[in-house]
Amino acid sequence: MIEACTQTIWQAFAATAGRYPERPLFNVLDETAGIYGIQSGETSYREVSDQVTELAAALQQSGYGAGFRVMLLLENRPEFFVWLLALNRIGASAVPVNPDLRHSELTYMARHSEPSLMVAIEPRCQGLAAAAKEAGLAVPVITPGDPVPHPGTAGPVALQVETRGGAIEGETLEAALLYTSGTTGNPKGCILTNSYFLEAGRWYAQAGGLCALSEDGERMITPLPIFHMNAMAYSFMAMVAVGGCLTVLDRFHPSSWWESVRESGATCLHYLGVMPSMLMGAPESAADRDHSVRFGFGAGVDPKLHASFEERFGFPLVEAWAMTETGAGAVICANQLPRRVGESCLGKPGDELDVMIVDAEGAESRNGPGELLVRRKGEEPQRGFFSGYFKNREATAEAWADGWFHTGDIVRREDDGSMFFVDRKKNVIRRSGENIAAVEVESALMRHPAVKAAAVAAVPDPVRGDEVFACLKVEGDAGPALAGEIVGWCLEQLAYYKAPGYVAFVEALPLTSTQKIQRRELKQLAERLVEDPATVDTRAMKKRTAA
C-alpha cells in the first residue's frame, strides 16, 4: 500500500522494494523479447532499484535535476519505467512519445514540451534529431545504453501547475507531461504530478470488489501502450502499490494472447474493447479457461459479447471510465455487485466523487443524457486529476469552468445511480483506443496537391470501434489509384491509425454559410457513402511499421 506520507513515485517504489526486494517487478516474455531483441525473464525490485540508482546518479552528474524534461521513445520496454523512476528521483519529468508518431507530429511535440534530452531506441534517434532541429532545439538524442550527455540548450523549464497554489515540490511536482491524442487540433500536454500517479496506485489497490488486489504477489499483463496513462499510471502504480509483477507486451497479438497470459502467470489483465471481439472470433478450445486470471479491467467491450466472453473464458470484464485529465481523481467503475453485464454500464460513482449531468445549455439534467461533469468531494476537488494543460491556461480554465471538470462525454444515469456512456461531445474519432482529431487529418489531406477540399468523419467498424472516413474534392482522375496515392502520402505524414480507412470522392462538402463543415451532415453522408461501391476501402494500407 502507498502510505499517505509518500510524496513521489520514486518514494513509493523504494518503499515497496524495501519490503519485497526479491519479488519480480517486470517480466518479459520470450515473444516480446524476440520482437524487441532484449533479454527475457524477470527483474526483481532490488535489481530495478540498482538500475535506477545508477541512472539517476549519471543524470545528476551530467547536470540534470528538478525542472528538466526528457522525451522517452522506448516502446513498451521495461527501460521506460527505469527512466521514469530515475527522472522522478532527481525531480525531473518524463515526456512519453508514441512510437507511431511521424515527423510533423514529433516536431510539434518537441517544440511544445521543450525537452533537454531525448532518449529513444536506436532506429528512431535520427528521426527525433531531425524533429528537434526543425523545432529549433539543440537537444542531444541518445539510446538508453549511451553515456548521459550534458543537457541541451533548452535547460530547465518552469513547470506550470495551473490548478493549485503554493510551492511546487513533492506531490505537486511534475512527474510527466503526457500528450493527449488530440480531439480538436494539436495534442495538448497534460501536466501529471506525483500526486496523479500516487492516487492511481492507491485507487487501484483499494478498489476492491471484482478487481480487488492483494499483497500476496499479483501478476498483471497488459498489451496497452505505456505512453498512455492506463499502463504508465494504473498498471505500473497498481503493481508498485501491492508489490506485484507487471508483464508488458509489445502489443496485442490475438493468436498468442492466451499463451502469453498462461506463461506470465497473470492474475489480472487490462484490455480495450477490440480485444474481446478478436478473441471471441477464434475457435473455442478446451484450454480457454486454462489460466489464473481473476478479472480483466478495461473499457469498450461489445455489449453483445460481454456475457458470452465471461462464460467462455471464466472471468469478469470490469468496465470503467476515466480520462487522461481525470486520472484517479474521477473513476467510475463497474466493480461492485450486482452487475449490468452487456449493457455498456460504467458502474456507479464512488462516494468520493461528485458528478453532475448538464444539457446543451449547461443546466443540470438529473439523469441525462447530457455532458458528464466531475470533481472530488471535499476540500481538494482536483486531487488526483491532471494539473493543467501546458502553455494553455485558457483551455485549463475552460475545462474547469465553474469548479467542475467538463469531460466532453455524453452519459445517462438511471435512478439506481448506474451510469451509461452515450457519445462524445466533441468531434473525435476513436479507433482501437486512439483518439483522432478530424481536423488534424483534414489538415494533412489538404496538403496533398490533388486535394482541393477534405472532410473527415467516423464510421462504425466492427473491430476497431471507429474508422476514419474521408470525403475529398479533388482534381484529376478520382478513382482507386488516386485514393491509394493520397492515403499513402498521408501515411508518411501521420501515425498510421490516423490515415483514412475509406476515401469517397465528392463534388462538394456539406458546408455552413460561413464555409465551415457541417459535422452532423458529414457524419450522415459518410454513413451512406461507406456502403457505396464507388467508395475506396483503404483499410488494408493502414499497417503499423517499425520505422
Residue 422 lies in a domain: no
User: Cell triple for residue 161?
Assistant: 501547475
Rounded Cα–Cα distance for residues 83 and 69 (Å): 12
Residue 424 lies in a domain: no
Is there a single domain that holds both residue 373 and residue 455?
A: no
**Which of 310, 272, 304 is closest to 289 using CA atoms?**
310
- Please give the residue range of the domain that contains residue 385: 9-410
DSSP 511: B
Which residues, listed in sequence order, are joined to residue 44 by a DSSP beta bridge? 24
DSSP 273: T
**Which pLDDT belongs to residue 175?**
97
Is there a single domain that holds both residue 106 and residue 166?
A: yes
Residue 207 lies in a domain: yes
- From residue 394, alpha-carbon distances to 178, 188, 397, 535 in Å are 18, 12, 5, 41
Which residues in the chain show pLDDT less than 50? 158-167, 183-184, 546-547
Residue 423 lies in a domain: no
Residue 546 lies in a domain: no
Residue 504 lies in a domain: yes
DSSP string, 73-127: E-TT-THHHHHHHHHHHTT-EEEE--TT--HHHHHHHHHHH--SEEEE-HHHHHH
Is there a single domain that holds both residue 51 and residue 193?
A: yes
Rounded Cα–Cα distance for residues 94 and 68 (Å): 9
**Which pLDDT belongs to residue 538?**
96
Is there a single domain that holds both residue 147 and residue 247?
A: yes
Signed CA dihedral, 226, 141, 194, 158: sign only: negative
Total tally of structural domains belonging to the chain = 2
The label of the residue with cell 476540500 reads 379
Is there a single domain that holds both residue 181 and residue 298?
A: yes
- From residue 348, alpha-carbon distances to 333, 416, 538 in Å are 7, 8, 40
* Domain of residue 210, CATH code: 3.40.50.12780
Residue finishing a domain among 355, 380, 410: 410
Is there a single domain that holds both residue 85 and residue 216?
A: yes
Query: Contact at 8 Å (CB) between 267 and 220?
Result: yes
Close Cβ partners of 509 (under 8 Å, ≥ 6 residues apart): 453, 454, 455, 471, 473, 517, 522
CA angle (233 as vertex; 231, 236 as ends), nearest 5: 65
Residue finishing a domain among 376, 410, 444: 410
Close Cβ partners of 168 (under 8 Å, ≥ 6 residues apart): 159, 161, 174
| pTM for this prediction | 0.84
* Domain of residue 447, CATH code: 3.30.300.30
Is there a single domain that holds both residue 233 and residue 340?
A: yes
DSSP 325: T
Is there a single domain that holds both residue 262 and residue 118?
A: yes
Rounded Cα–Cα distance for residues 357 and 29 (Å): 44
CA angle (174 as vertex; 224, 134 as ends), nearest 5: 75
Residue finishing a domain among 410, 445, 473: 410
Is there a single domain that holds both residue 403 and residue 463?
A: no
Is there a single domain that holds both residue 353 and residue 481?
A: no
**Which of 411, 260, 268 is closest to 330 using CA atoms?**
411
- From residue 221, alpha-carbon distances to 194, 247, 273, 308 in Å are 24, 5, 16, 22
**Which of 156, 140, 190, 171 is closest to 324 using CA atoms?**
190
Residue 325 lies in a domain: yes
Residue 297: enclosing H or E segment and its boundaries?
strand 295-299
Is there a single domain that holds both residue 354 and residue 497?
A: no
Is there a single domain that holds both residue 175 and residue 303?
A: yes
Helical H segments across 400-534, by residue range:
438-446, 480-493, 519-529
Rounded Cα–Cα distance for residues 46 and 124 (Å): 30
Residue 547 lies in a domain: no
